[in-house]
Structure 1
C-alpha cells in the first residue's frame, strides 16, 4: 500500500525565519563599554552633575569587598563629602508586612510633588543559607521608580548589622552630593538593624499596624524609645476603628518613656498608604520636628555625635575584618574551632589564644 503523502490540514506553513534575538554588534559594544571602568574623578564629576549612572556605579564600588574597589570608593567619598550633609535623613522601620514599601512609595510621591528630590535606600535581608537577597523594592514601588526626581537603591544586608555599617552610611553621602535633598532609609525590620539606622538619620519613623496584637509592643522599650513618630498604617476599610484604637494605646504607651533630649514629643498618627490618606500629615510632623531641632541646635549636635559614632564603628569593623583575614589566624582558627567542639578548650581560652597570636 502506497504511503499517503498528503499533508495534514494542521501542518505549519513555511514562513519567514525568526531573526536573531539580539544584535551581535550591539552586544560587542556593551561588552567593550563594560570593560572600560571610569576613574574616580570621572565618577565624582558625574555624581555632582546628578548623573544616576555614575551614582549607581559609585555605590557599587562602596558595596564591593574588593580591596582595590575600596580604595577607589574612599577617594570618591572624600571628594563628595564637601558637597554632602545638605539633606534630611529619614529612617523608616516596621515589622515585615506592615507596608513599608507601599508607604515609602506614597510618601516619596508626595515629596516629589512638593519639588523634593528623594533617594530611597532599601536594605533587603540576606539569606543566612544561600547568602542571596531578592532586592525587589523597585518592583514594589512601581510609580516611584518612574519618577525622575526619585532614586531607589536596594542593597543586600549581607553579614553587617542591618547591612548599614559599611554601606548605607557612605551611600547617603553620595546621594546627597548628587543633589537628593531627602534620603529615606528603609530597614529590614528584624531587630538590631533599627539601632544602626537610628544612628545615621535625623528622624526615625516607626510604622505599625492594628489588629495583629501589635499594640502590646507599645509598652516595650528599645524601638519605641528611638521613634520620633509612630504611624499606624492600613487605616482603611474595616480597619479604621481598629487603627484609631491602636493610636490611643500607643499614645498612652509613649507617656511611660522619659522626655527626649531633642525636646521633641513623639506623635502618633494613622494613615493609609494604599489610599494615600494621612501621608501629608506625616510630612508635616517631620517638618515640625526639623523646625524645632534646628532652632535649639540639636540637629547639628546629633550629626556630630553620629559622625563620631561611625568613626568608631568603622574602626571596629576594620579590626574584625583584618583579624579574620590574617593568614596565621585563618589556620589557627580552624584548629581552635575543632578543639572547642570536642571540649578540649573552652571558648574563652580558644579566643584568648587567637587574640594573643594576632597581637604578637
Structure 2
C-alpha cells in the first residue's frame, strides 16, 4: 500500500480512500499498525478541525433516527458530515451486525455524507479502540461535522466524551428514569440533553421529562468550560424533524463560546494527553502479555486461584511483584 498516495487521496476528500484508511487503522496486524502511524504523520500537516459531536443514549432511544435527520439537516446547509457508528460485538463470536447504513438509508445516499460502522470488539465505554484515529482521518478528509454514535450501554458510556467537543445525551420520554438527572457519571459529562420522540402521544411526556431534567441539571455544579445557561435539556422529534434546528443553534452557541474563552483548545490538549497515556498503557499491557515467562507465570498462578489456593488479590500482587523484580 502506498501510504503517501493514500494520504493525498484522503486529504482530497476521496471517500473510498477514507474507508480504506479507517480499515487500515482498525487492523490489529503489526505491519498495518506501522502503516497507520505513517499515515497519521502524513496527514497531521492538514491541521483541519471538525466539530466532533459524541452521541450517547440507551438502546431504542432513537440515536440512528436522530443522526439521520440531524445529518440531513446539516447536509442541506452545505456541511460535510461523517458518522462513525460503533456497534456492540458479540461476547461469544466477536462479530457485529454493522447495520447502521441500512438504518440511515437516506443519509447514506448523500454525496456529502460518510457513514462508517465499526465493531466495539472488547473495548469498553461505548466506542471502538481506534475510533479516535478514525475521527482524525475524517477531519483530515475535510468533513465539517463528525458524529460519533456510541454502543448505548448506559451510565458507564463516558469514553466518547474524551474524543468529542460536544457530548450529547439522548433520552426517551416516560422511560421511568426521570430522577436519573440527579445522578453523577454520564449526566455530568453531557453538554446538552435531548429528549427524543417529542411527537404524537409522547409529546406531553417529553415536555415533562425535559422540564424534569432541566431542574436536575440546575442542581449540578457549574463547569468552568460552560456558559451560565449550560448544560441544558431540550425536546426534539427526529421523526418529525422538530427541534433539530434549535438543537443545532445551541450546539453552535456553546462551541463559539468555548472557542472565544479558550476552552476549545485546552480541551483538545487535555484529550491529546489522555490518549497518549492510554496508548502507553495499552502498549505496556501488550508487551507484558507477549512475554512467554509472564504468560506462564500468570497461567500457573491463575490455576492456583481457580483451585482456591490463593485469593485473586494476593495472586495478582505476587505476579506484579515478580514482574517488578525482573525489570
* Distance change >3 Å, CA 358–CA 46, structure 1 → 2: farther
* Number of the residue aligned with 1:145: 108
Name the SS of the counterpart of 1:143 in structure 2.
helix
Give the unaligned 5+ runs of structure 1: 1-37
1:1-360 equivalences in 2 (<5 Å): 38-162=1-125, 164=127, 166-191=129-154, 194-264=157-227, 265-359=230-324, 360=326
Contact 1:251/1:268, CA 8 A, preserved across alignment: yes
Q: Which has the larger radius of gyration?
A: 1
Q: CA distance change for structure 1 residues 237 and 165 in 2, over 3 Å: closer, same or farther?
A: closer
CA contact (8 A) 1:118 1:150 kept: yes
Which consecutive residues of structure 2, in runs of 5 or more, have no partner in the other structure?
A: none
The RMSD of aligned alpha carbons is 1.4
SS of 2:105's partner is coil
Q: State the secondary structure of the residue aligned to 1:131.
A: coil
The CA distance in 2 between the partners of 1:52 and 1:232, in whole Å, is 33
Under a length normalisation based on structure 1, what TM-score does the superposition of the two structures give? 0.86
Deviates more, 1:318-327 or 1:333-342: 318-327
> Under a length normalisation based on structure 2, what TM-score does the superposition of the two structures give?
0.95
CA distance in 1, matches of 2:294, 2:28: 20
Q: Distance in 1 between matches of 2:284 and 2:89?
A: 23
Supply the distance in 1 between the matched residues of 2:109 and 2:98 (Cα, whole angstroms).
Answer: 17
Distance in structure 2 (CA, Å) of the matches to 1:164 and 1:217? 22
Judged with a 3 Å threshold, the aligned counterparts in structure 2 of structure 1 residues 208 and 163 are, in CA distance, closer, same or farther, namely closer
Aligned length: 323
> After the TM superposition, which parts of structure 1 deviate over 3 Å for at least 4 consecutive aligned residues?
162-166, 356-359
Instruction: Work out whether residues 7 and 42 of structure 2, in 8 Å CA contact, stay in contact via their aligned partners in 1.
Output: yes
Q: Deviations over 1:284-320 (max 9, x none)?
A: 0101101111111111111111111111111111111
Residue of structure 2 in register with 1:9 after alignment: none
Q: Is the 8 A contact 1:231 1:269 kept in 2?
A: yes
The range that moved more, 290-299 or 350-359, is 350-359
What displacement does 1:185 show? 0.5
